[in-house]
Amino acid sequence: MSDLHVLCKIGDVEYVLSTDDVVQMESFVGATKVPGARAEVAGLVQIRGRVVPVLDMRVVFGLPAVAPTIDSRVLVMKHAERTVGLLVDSAREVLRIPAENFQPPPPVVSRQTEGLVKAVVQVRDRLLMLIDSTKVISEEDEHGP
């Protein structure tokens, strides 16, 4: 795993994602809604000729969906054969965080986020949560369409 991590914001909270998982990052101006898909699914976007489903991370984390802003970003993840975009409120920085700095999350956090927070890390004076993107994506499968 590389040390590089994308720092993003979902609501007012900062999270990091490993750049190993992120294939590209795109601005977001809205998605084609898919009637009947689950609430977390923001819709479909076309990114460089590919049609990619987008999960609204706000909804995944229990926040209300909001209209896209100039800061909204889609982090395109590749997971096995699937390509899924994660919509976050902003994603501006890439940080180098050595693997040994990460600590397991407190059990309560781990349980309450259903394992979506894989680790926590202190960077300068900020506490950041590492999102288990594989889990986020596969979490969605288990419920089925």
Partner 1 sequence: MSDGFEAAEFIAGFIAESQEHLASANGHLLSAEEAVAKGKATPRQVRELFRSLHTIKGLAAMVGIEPIVDVAHAMESVLREADRAAGRLPAGSVELLLNGVRAIEHRVQALAEREPVAAAPSKLVDALNALRQEGGDGPAAALATSLAPELWAKLSPGERGQLVQGITEGRRGVVVEFVPTTARASEGINITSVRERAATVAEIVKVVPQSRQTTGESTGGLSFALIVLTSGSDSALMEATATTPEALTSIALTGLNAAPPVVDEGLPDDAILHRGVVRVEVSRLDEALERLSALVVTQFRITRTAAAMRTQGADVRALYQVIAENGRNLRDLRASIMRARMVSVAELLERIPLIVRGLSRATGKEARLSITTGRAELDKAVAERIFPAVVHLVRNAVDHALELPAERRAAGKPSTGLVSVACQQLSDSQLELTVSDDGRGVDAVAVARRAGAAVPTTDEGLLELLTRPGVSTKAEITTTSGRGVGMDVVKRIAVDELRGALSMRTVKGQGTTFSLRLPLSITIVDAFSFVCGGETFVVPVAMVEEIQEIDLAQTIRGPDRRKAPRDVPDRRRASRATDMIHRRGEAVPVLRLEEILGLVATDDPRRKAIIVRRNGDPFAFTVDRMLGQQEVVVRPIDDQLVRVHGVSGTTDLGDGRPTLVLDLVALGGRLVSDSAGALA
Which residues bind to partner 1, rule: CB under 8 A?
30-38, 41, 43-46, 49, 51, 53, 55, 82-84, 140-141, 144-145
Cβ nearer to partner 1, comparing 37 with 94: 37
Cβ nearer to partner 1, comparing 49 with 64: 49
3-state secondary structure of 135: helix
Helix %, strand %, coil % of the chain (to 5): 15, 50, 35
DSSP string for residues in 11-55: TTEEEEEETTTEEEEEE----B--TTS-TTEEEEEEETTEEEEEE
Q: How far is the CB of 43 from partner 1 (least distance, A)?
A: 8
Q: How far is the CB of 45 from partner 1 (least distance, A)?
A: 7
Measured CA to CA, the distance from residue 53 to residue 55 in angstroms comes to 7
Q: How far is the CB of 127 from partner 1 (least distance, A)?
A: 30
Q: How far is the CB of 106 from partner 1 (least distance, A)?
A: 30
Cβ nearer to partner 1, comparing 62 with 144: 144
For residue 46, how many C-alpha atoms fall within 13 Å in the half-sphere facing its CB? 2
Backbone angles phi, psi at 141, to 5 degrees: -65, -40
Cβ nearer to partner 1, comparing 46 with 122: 46
